[in-house]
């Protein structure tokens, strides 16, 4: 199997080239195109029923996945919703990954996905309670909002990352979720919770924050007036226009 990530970093598209007998598994809805010679089989995620429910409901991924199986040299294209990059993470028997829920795009058939508990309090700030745990041996492809930034942590080294910027880190790292500073800085400083990751291992972050982008975009969205009132109301640059 060969792959290429095209149009990076903003509009990345993953093209996988399969030989006869090879297959790739992808999140439902990720397929953009495929050539002749590819058979698509939709199935529930591998593992027991409880694991499937965990990954689906708690990990932010769909309950079903699609297997793309080639009977001749073929290619399949995949893309994710966020504007950003797609990166390959190489999973090895002693080198799994903890991946932010929603970042998963596709993986080879020998990679298993499970959920990793992050701490209950994270959900109070609007993010998911779980991350995905990728183990086995093979490739897992993840999407980022913006570009991917990689850091290598030595033994005892730590890095604190805003939760909305965290994409993945190697399984050997330890981590804890905590508030950013005191209550005042949490509310007024623009941060909620952060994850402190300790090495040895690798950590991957995304350069853009989807929560901040959504908040920024909402300021420019038109707001329809209440029933019985004419016109719309929207903001531009902090000014309210309309009625």
Give pLDDT tens digits along the chain (243 positions): 999 999 988 899 999 999 999 999 998 889 999 999 999 998 875 544 444 444 444 434 455 789 999 999 999 999 988 889 999 999 999 899 998 877 889 999 899 888 655 544 444 334 454 678 899 999 999 999 999 999 999 999 999 998 888 999 999 898 887 777 654 444 444 456 788 899 999 999 999 887 777 777 788 877 655 554 545 554 444 445 455
Q: H-helix or E-strand containing 89?
A: strand 86-91
Category of 103 on φ-ψ map: left (φ > 0), alpha (ψ -120 to 50) or beta: alpha
Cα pseudo-dihedral 51, 121, 191, 213, rounded to 10: 40
Q: What is the pLDDT of residues 49-61, one digit of tens each?
A: 444 444 444 434 4
Assess whether the previous peptide bond of 26 is cis (omega < 30° from 0). no
**Beta bridge partners of residue 5, listed in sequence order:** 14
Are 101 and 60 in contact, with CB atoms under 8 Å apart? yes
Q: Where are the alpha helices (DSSP H) in the chain?
A: 49-53, 183-188, 210-218
Amino acid 132: pLDDT: 81
Amino acid 12: pLDDT: 94
Token pair for 154: 């030595």
CATH code of 2-220, in short, is 3.60.160.10
Residues 6+ apart with CB under 8 A from 71: 20, 21, 37, 38, 39
Are 211 and 173 in contact, with CB atoms under 8 Å apart? no
* Calpha distance 225→179 (Å, rounded): 38
* Calpha distance 154→132 (Å, rounded): 23
Cα dist from 148 to 93, 158, 205, 225, whole Å: 24, 19, 6, 40
* Calpha distance 167→78 (Å, rounded): 19
Amino acid 121: pLDDT: 42
Are 170 and 134 in contact, with CB atoms under 8 Å apart? no
* Calpha distance 237→219 (Å, rounded): 8
Residue 168's closest CA among 135, 132, 136, 196? 132
**3 state SS of 29:** coil
């Amino acid at each position: 199997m060969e792959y290429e990530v095209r149009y990076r970093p903003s509009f990345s598209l993953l093209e996988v080239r399969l030989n006869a007998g090879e297959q790739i598994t992808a999140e439902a809805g990720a397929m953009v195109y495929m050539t002749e010679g590819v058979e698509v089989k939709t199935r529930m995620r591998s593992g027991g029923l409880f694991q499937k429910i965990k990954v689906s409901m708690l990990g932010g991924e769909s309950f079903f996945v699609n297997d793309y199986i080639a009977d001749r040299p073929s290619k399949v294209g995949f893309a994710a919703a966020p504007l950003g990059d797609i990166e390959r993470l190489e999973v090895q028997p002693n080198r799994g990954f903890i991946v932010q829920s929603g970042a998963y795009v596709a993986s080879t058939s020998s990679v298993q996905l499970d959920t990793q508990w992050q701490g209950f309090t994270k959900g109070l700030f609007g993010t998911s309670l779980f991350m995905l745990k990728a183990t086995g041996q093979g490739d897992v492809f993840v999407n980022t909002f913006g570009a991917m930034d990689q850091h290598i942590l030595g033994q005892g080294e730590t890095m604190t990352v805003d939760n909305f910027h965290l994409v993945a880190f190697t399984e050997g790292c330890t981590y804890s979720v905590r508030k950013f500073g005191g209550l005042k800085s949490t509310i007024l400083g623009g941060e909620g919770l952060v994850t402190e990751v300790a090495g040895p291992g690798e950590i991957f972050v995304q350069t853009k924050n989807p929560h901040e982008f959504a908040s920024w975009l909402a300021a420019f969205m038109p707001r329809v007036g209440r029933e019985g009132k004419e016109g719309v109301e929207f903001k531009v640059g902090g000014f309210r226009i309309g009625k």
